[in-house]
Amino acid sequence: MISSIDAIGRNRIRVKCKDYKTANNLIKNKTLEIFRLNNLDLYIPKFILHRQGVIRDIDADLSEEYIKNRIKQYDSHCIFEIANVKRITRKVEKNVNEEKIVEYVPTKSCIVTFKSQTLPKYIVINKVIKEVEIYKQKVLLCFNCLRYGHLGNQCRSQPRCNRCQETHNSKDCTKVDFEHDISIERPGWTFLLILAGTATTIGLSLPVGYNIGVLNTPAMDISIERPGWTFLLILAGTATTIGLSLPVGYNIGVVNTPAQVIKEFCRNIITEKFGNTPSIIQLELIWSSIVSIFLVGAAIGSLGGSVLADKIGRKGVLAVCSGLAALSAVLFFISRPVMSIELLFIGRLLVGFSSGLTTTVVPMYLTELAPIHLRGSTGVLCPLGVTIGVLLGQIMSMHDILGNSDYWPHCLAAYVIPVIICAFALPLLPESPKYLFVIKKDQHKAFQQLNRLRNSKQAAVNLEILKLKKEQQDNEKNTRVGWSIGKVLVDRSLLLPLLLVCSLQAGQQLSGINAVFYYSTAIFKAAGLSDRASELGTIGSGLCNNFMAILSDSYAWVPYLSIIGVQGYILCYGFGLGPIPYFIGSELFEVGPRSSAMALGSMFSWGANLIVSLTFPLMQMYLGTASFFIFALVAFGLFVFTRFYLPETRGKDITEVVELCNKGLSSKPLRRNVPENQRINTSENVGYVLQKSYTSRLTLTTKCT
């Protein structure tokens, strides 16, 4: 239990325990009779629990109390409390009215006392990573007794001569025949001494300080030399937007205008093969199935995206998407020569599966490639590609271009051109460093990919590696095995972010936006517009989704109020529900559960899309214009939910956002911008603090009476 008891000074003894449990028991039972009768106090010495470090480059205007409250631990390996913060000052003498005034000017360095057995390597102050240096105390020399550790005004020993070392004052020394003043006959500055000092200072010491000043970025501040848009990041954004996201929107918008032409093609094939002419209802059912099978494939692809993203990597999924999109385009192109409706079904199913994979993986891939301050910019690239694709599909499907009976197969397959062009760029794209580091645990390859992405900016790369290590530790702490959709669904800490992702993805579709894209031509015709005007109105919807509503004065405005209303509706949609749901999952989930969560969100999106595409014609038939009131109620409910539970993610690290939402519906992410630091009570957790030491030491001291 107790290994030894030693006397360490006046009225003090040191008790060494074999383990921390014994030390804790003594601390808890220090009110026993043996301590009370002998007037003894029992405590753990400060030098065991306290460690001092220096933190530099802190704004001189910040108070010590403010800094103490803002310091947070960087990782979970070193748990600490802050005992004290003291700013280092510099003595400055000024002449004011011929009088010397001494001032102590605060510097940008602080001495921090940590309640911990180990000094942390890094801490976080106001979201900025700071390095902690070991505090080296000044050497104290007493000129009275010539001993170290105290000053002359605190000395209680006899004076000692600094010449003969006897116990008398140096001024009274009679054992030498000259005065002790070292200024007597001291040598001056000679030519060789000046030359040696100048040469070594300029030629040797100056380069050392210069390299320290150049290479040492101030306190690893994230805002210093933060990486921007590099060639590889631009290439990745361009290739995935044009080659993958654009075909998704193209296949949404291309089926609107040429619907009647393709229905006529299906009618002719059925008549030739079976000898019976299908009724209008049967033909509408076939056409609805061709349109909707795309959404079924997209929902399936969304679920498969999480598994594929972790198995073959983000970059591997991009290659699969390109291959499926190209194959489906070939099926569309040959469907009329071979007179096959089945190829239309298979092609729409394959391109739907590719679209589901794309909307799951591309936003995740781009946000993992981008530095934290560019996540929002890269996150909107995928929805931007989708909206551009919708517009391009609406333009290409116009009757005067490709949406006629001669060229409709070319119209359906035209998206293969950007797919093939951007497929050549896929081998040049980097794999996601977060996927390599956290999922595959391949730190070497992750470091290589980060070097390529950041143009070998070592400071930025090292900082991101530190963040990846923290994210990997959190991922390993949460689970010992890989994440799956089932694990994400049952994890209570992921309930709120999962609800946010799924509700935003589903609400994006249930707001009725794709009712406009799929059936805008029918809506405009029902409003009394001609076929030509309906086509122009559909093109206007696409333009508004990308830029702004285009209004024309060449027509009377009263019959075209429906176009104005639709354009304004799409314009409001483009500000929020359009881009944000695609990438919000990348900002709410860590790397481990991210792919599964985004797959669920994408599945909800395509599932809601399918519901709208199947039910809107019936709603329009029975409810008319009142159909949009249902969409308005859904949008209002989504507004209320996100208003209270969606945290601000801009400028925040992933781990910080996760802590804001880890309490399910009990979370209050808007009431606290920064999560509270995990603090420990030293008096109650002495054992935890001491468990890494070889021996636990206690001190018994007589109480002052």
The pLDDT confidence band at residue 226, using thresholds 50, 70 and 90, is low
- pLDDT above 50: residue 701: no
Quote the CA–CA distance of 251 and 505 in Å, as a whole number: 19
State the CB neighbour count (10 A cutoff) for residue 62. Answer: 17
- The pLDDT of residue 317: 93
The pLDDT confidence band at residue 186, using thresholds 50, 70 and 90, is low
pLDDT mean across residues, the chain: 77
In sequence order, the β-bridge partners of residue 699 are: 14, 43
State the CB neighbour count (10 A cutoff) for residue 433. Answer: 26
Instruction: Give the helix/strand (H/E) hosting 52.
Output: strand 50-55
- pLDDT tens for residues 547-571? 433 333 333 444 455 556 666 666 6
- pLDDT tens for residues 368-402? 888 877 877 787 888 888 888 988 988 888 888 88
- The pLDDT of residue 631: 84
- pLDDT tens for residues 323-368? 999 999 999 999 999 999 999 999 999 999 999 999 889 988 998 8
The pLDDT confidence band at residue 689, using thresholds 50, 70 and 90, is very low
Q: Which two tokens stand for residue 335?
A: 């469907």
Q: Which is more confident, 457 or 272?
A: 272
Q: Which residues of 654-678 are buried (b: 16+ CB within 10 A; e: fewer)?
A: bebbbbbbbeeeebebeeeeebeee
Q: Which two tokens stand for residue 116?
A: 């911990």
Place of tokens 């797959």: 599
Predicted TM-score of the model (pTM): 0.54
Lowest mean pLDDT among 81-90, 489-498, 503-512, 518-527: 518-527
Q: Is the Cβ–Cβ distance between 14 and 8 less than 8 Å?
A: yes
Mean pLDDT of 637-658: 82
- The pLDDT of residue 519: 53
Q: Which two tokens stand for residue 409?
A: 């197969």
Quote the CA–CA distance of 100 and 339 in Å, as a whole number: 102
Mean pLDDT of 261-273: 90
- pLDDT tens for residues 302-333? 888 878 888 899 999 999 999 999 999 999 99
Mean pLDDT of 530-540: 55
- The pLDDT of residue 612: 81
- pLDDT above 90: residue 279: no
- The pLDDT of residue 377: 79
- pLDDT tens for residues 205-219? 777 666 655 544 444
Quote the CA–CA distance of 540 and 555 in Å, as a whole number: 14
Quote the CA–CA distance of 264 and 284 in Å, as a whole number: 11
